Structure 1
Amino acid sequence: MTDFSPRHPPSRGLFDRHLPLRQAHAALRAQGVDPFNICFDTILSPTEARLAGRRVIMLGSNNYLGLTFDAEAVEAGVASLRTRGTGTTGSRIANGSFEAHLALERALARFYGRRHAMVFTTGYQANLGVLSSVVGRGDHLLLDRDSHASLYDGARLGHARVVRFRHNDPEHLRRRLARLEGAPGAKLIVVEGLYSMIGDVAPLREIAAVKREMGAYLLVDEAHSMGVLGARGRGLAEAAGVEADVDFVVGTFSKSLGAIGGFCVSDLDGFEVMRVTCRPYMFTASLPPAVAASTVAALGRMEAQPELRGRLMANARRLYHGLKALGFSVGPTPGPIVAVATPDPPSAVALWNQLLAQGVYLNLALPPATPNGQSLLRGSVTALHTEAQIDHVLAVFDAAATALGLLGNGAARLAARSA
């Protein structure tokens, strides 16, 4: 009989270094439902789902315009699925592009008024690809401290020197750039339009002024602000009136457009070289054509229905001001991301479980993944939430937090404010 036991057993397990995280995760599970392993029975609509046999209000989907069930987008995807199949089975550089990919890039370039557009399989890969391709060794990457993980990972992949500046602090950015004056290499500033944890926006007009003064380039990640901000939904750069100062716009289809994928648009000469230098583009299977087709349709719907942005922001204000009136600590401004800060992780986990038990699903965000080590409950409002749904969410928040001793008589305060 063959003996397969190792002659020299490993000194430790490969996952031993993650033991503290495993223990923390086990402690979360011990308090109730595992917040990082939710499995819905079915998604009923952009605003409701069934979970463990019960209907819940969806307040954690990033489905800002509610387009995941849009009839035109669904039909475009179904038609493409029937005629072009389920996937491409390879990258565009190896297996070629489908017409759907080119149609999507043309639609994005037209929408943003840019000469170039490049589509990636995910928004995460868009940031990996762009940051690792446009700057490299000898260059400098000026990165907002609270940037998304994909931006940090793209910075590491690209080998440029990373210089962090304080979150939303244009003056600190200017001082950082001033210290690099005369240094060789390009300087690329990277910010987000709307930050995904607490929903604050960048002071983009001031950052653009620093960019012009210091002779840098500027990239804006509009993942959460596309379809949300600006007269045409082009994001914060449009809303702030500084689109001409933004050299690269990156974003995703997995928020306002209800699909998956990422993109970059630009007017810079030489942009197309990224198709043969950008590893996350070159060595990843391309978007299924059905996804590309549904995204083109969703983009058209977003342009044709600007009233969706109005409804979204009205719903966001209703939830934001309602939570604030109840006594919750929320972000600096109302918007589609409404985050509630709690005193500590145990409080956040307990409140999250209470909300879920009463039919409200939203995101639990804990340190170290949060700004300044905050423990957050992160809600995402959609254009299709009803006033009744939002009011029900407020009532559930009030009851759950009061029962846990996190609030006093919040209902009385809300009633007084409404009066």
Structure 2
Amino acid sequence: MSILEKFAALNNRYDHLKQVGADPFAVKFDDIISCVEGVVNGKKTLLFGTNNYLGLTFDDEAKAESIEAIRRHGTGTTGSRIANGSYKGHQELERALADFYGHTHCMVFSTGYQANLGMISTLVGKDDHLFLDADSHASIYDGSRLGHAPVVRFRHNNPDDLAKRLRRMGDQPGDKLIVVEGIYSMLGDTAPLKEFVDVKREYGAYLMVDEAHSMGVLGEHGRGLAEREGVEDDVDFVVGTFSKSLASVGGFCVSSLEGFEILRLASRPYMFTASLPPAIISSTLSALRTLRAEPQRRTKLTANSRRFYTGLRAAGFHVGPECSPIVAVMVEQPEVAVMFWKRLLEEGMYLNLALPPATPNSSAFMRSSVSAAHTDEQIDFAVALMTRVGRELGLLPEENNVCAFPGPTAVFSGERLGATAATARALPQGAGAAAGMA
């Protein structure tokens, strides 16, 4: 019996998926033309599955600074910061992020996944208690597994359920850490952060907010949900990633807690992972400056998200509970969802497919991520295409209410789609896929 035999059931489900349609977890791009366009199987394709919220992957200044960093400092660091030392750029980026968030400390990790892994597994030990929202990202759950603290799950976005579980703890000793997300990567809903802060205060707990999908998206200055809700002073740790709004790769944690710096010697995912290369550090610094200097990108992103979300909802699709750059469309039957995804790709639209059992409520859906770089015409095309294909697959009635938008496409019916971050939770644990916090 092979050591891989344990994955037989997963392999059978994957084979069945591929028989229904094209493999949604092995899409290959022939070329990437821009932030919102690529080439798949020789066909120009509109990208709605990239998490490229501010459209900065092709930013001229970021590219130039990244290239100059390679010329001056080489292609990589070849080791961890603990073993090989920190480059000047690492420290500059940490200072810039701490300043952006108004905190005194920052640690930069090599991925956003590792930021959650490193912080959660280190902050709470076997005598402490970790409270996780049931819909937490895989990196949060994996961080809890790497650590030794008992884990208590509370109902998604339910402060009352969290309070009830904290109340049951009574006077048990140990620190209590609550972890929630700003925007949840599967359905695009936000946490009721003010209520969670009230619970945190009442029970003397610490609060960590993962702003991976809300950094650059929410708040007057783009600091995320905590800024928008006016509770930044009550959040003890902010974790985030560079792979969304900052258009590169990496992760971070900022905090003002005294003694924070010792975590560099306590966090194994920080200590034993090679540090980010100079090119990534430089482009990330450039993107952070742009995020701060160009709030109009957030304004455009908000408008684009509303245009897409309301268009799909008007068409009759069952969309997520809130309007955000993450727009999820529920499809009852997984086989139909696969065919829907395949048809859209064939007709020039890329997004991601999410399938049970790893999705919230075991639903099948498609998830899209809107970008500030999308034009009104591109959004209208996507809505119209999804509406037409949805009708052809029987997901929508033949006649539906139309939703009129200004611009070249005057009248069309909205449609719903899916996108990248869905993939991380679209397959059972152990199935490799694109992650919401890569």
TM-score, normalised via structure 1 length: 0.96
The question of 1:382 aligning with 2:371 is answered yes
Task: Give SS of 2:403's match.
Answer: helix
Matches within 5 A, 1:112-123: 112-123=101-112
The residue number in structure 1 matching 2:289 is 300
> In percent, how many aligned pairs have the same letter?
58
User: Within 2, Cα distance between the matches of 1:145 and 1:288?
Assistant: 35
Return structure 1 stretches of 4+ with deviation > 6 angstroms: 416-419
Q: 1:47 aligns with which of 33, 36, 41?
A: 36
The residue number in structure 1 matching 2:434 is none
Using the TM superposition, give the Cα deviation of residue 333 of structure 1 relative to its aligned residue in structure 2, in angstroms: 1.2
Q: 1:189 aligns with which of 170, 173, 178?
A: 178
Deviations 1:101-157 (A, max 9, x none): 001001000100100000000000000000011111110001000000000000111
Residues 326 and 410 of structure 1 are in contact (CA less than 8 Å); yes or no, is this contact kept in structure 2? no
Structure 2 unaligned spans of 5+: 413-438
The question of 1:397 aligning with 2:386 is answered yes
The question of 1:277 aligning with 2:266 is answered yes
Aligned residues between the structures = 408
Q: 2:124 aligns with which of 122, 131, 135?
A: 135
Larger Rg: 1
The question of 1:239 aligning with 2:225 is answered no
The question of 1:126 aligning with 2:115 is answered yes
User: Within 2, Cα distance between the matches of 1:326 and 1:263?
Assistant: 39
The residue number in structure 1 matching 2:26 is 37
Structure 2 letter corresponding to 1:31: V
Using the TM superposition, give the Cα deviation of residue 368 of structure 1 relative to its aligned residue in structure 2, in angstroms: 2.0
User: Within 2, Cα distance between the matches of 1:413 and 1:63?
Assistant: 29
TM-score, normalised via structure 2 length: 0.92
Using the TM superposition, give the Cα deviation of residue 179 of structure 1 relative to its aligned residue in structure 2, in angstroms: 0.9
Structure 2 letter corresponding to 1:257: L
Q: 2:240 aligns with which of 251, 254, 274?
A: 251
Residues 139 and 186 of structure 1 are in contact (CA less than 8 Å); yes or no, is this contact kept in structure 2? yes
Residues 398 and 411 of structure 1 are in contact (CA less than 8 Å); yes or no, is this contact kept in structure 2? no
Q: 1:309 aligns with which of 298, 304, 313?
A: 298
Q: 1:336 aligns with which of 322, 325, 330?
A: 325
User: Within 2, Cα distance between the matches of 1:410 and 1:297?
Assistant: 48
Using the TM superposition, give the Cα deviation of residue 413 of structure 1 relative to its aligned residue in structure 2, in angstroms: 3.2
Pair 1:410–1:143, CA change in 2 (3 A): farther
The question of 1:149 aligning with 2:122 is answered no
User: Within 2, Cα distance between the matches of 1:288 and 1:222?
Assistant: 23
Using the TM superposition, give the Cα deviation of residue 409 of structure 1 relative to its aligned residue in structure 2, in angstroms: 2.6
Q: 1:90 aligns with which of 75, 79, 104?
A: 79
Deviations 1:299-345 (A, max 9, x none): 00010000100100100000100000110000111110000000121
Using the TM superposition, give the Cα deviation of residue 246 of structure 1 relative to its aligned residue in structure 2, in angstroms: 0.2
Deviations 1:373-409 (A, max 9, x none): 1101000000010000011001110111111111113
Task: Give SS of 2:33's match.
Answer: strand
User: Within 2, Cα distance between the matches of 1:193 and 1:228?
Assistant: 10
Using the TM superposition, give the Cα deviation of residue 418 of structure 1 relative to its aligned residue in structure 2, in angstroms: 6.2
Using the TM superposition, give the Cα deviation of residue 217 of structure 1 relative to its aligned residue in structure 2, in angstroms: 0.3
The residue number in structure 2 matching 1:174 is 163
Using the TM superposition, give the Cα deviation of residue 410 of structure 1 relative to its aligned residue in structure 2, in angstroms: 5.2
Using the TM superposition, give the Cα deviation of residue 293 of structure 1 relative to its aligned residue in structure 2, in angstroms: 0.8
User: Within 1, Cα distance between the matches of 2:74 and 2:360?
Assistant: 42
Structure 2 letter corresponding to 1:340: V
The residue number in structure 2 matching 1:204 is 193
User: Within 2, Cα distance between the matches of 1:350 and 1:160?
Assistant: 42
Using the TM superposition, give the Cα deviation of residue 18 of structure 1 relative to its aligned residue in structure 2, in angstroms: 0.9
Structure 2 letter corresponding to 1:177: L
User: Within 2, Cα distance between the matches of 1:410 and 1:235?
Assistant: 40
Residues 398 and 410 of structure 1 are in contact (CA less than 8 Å); yes or no, is this contact kept in structure 2? no
Task: Give SS of 2:52's match.
Answer: coil
The 10-residue stretch of structure 1 (25-34 or 223-232) with the greater mean CA deviation from structure 2:
25-34
Structure 1 letter corresponding to 2:258: D
Task: Give SS of 1:97's match.
Answer: coil
Residues 222 and 236 of structure 1 are in contact (CA less than 8 Å); yes or no, is this contact kept in structure 2? yes
User: Within 1, Cα distance between the matches of 2:229 and 2:128?
Assistant: 28
Residues 316 and 400 of structure 2 are in contact (CA less than 8 Å); yes or no, is this contact kept in structure 1? no
User: Within 1, Cα distance between the matches of 2:17 and 2:28?
Assistant: 16
The residue number in structure 1 matching 2:425 is none
Residues 165 and 173 of structure 1 are in contact (CA less than 8 Å); yes or no, is this contact kept in structure 2? yes
Using the TM superposition, give the Cα deviation of residue 208 of structure 1 relative to its aligned residue in structure 2, in angstroms: 0.3
User: Within 2, Cα distance between the matches of 1:181 and 1:75?
Assistant: 56
Residues 395 and 411 of structure 1 are in contact (CA less than 8 Å); yes or no, is this contact kept in structure 2? no
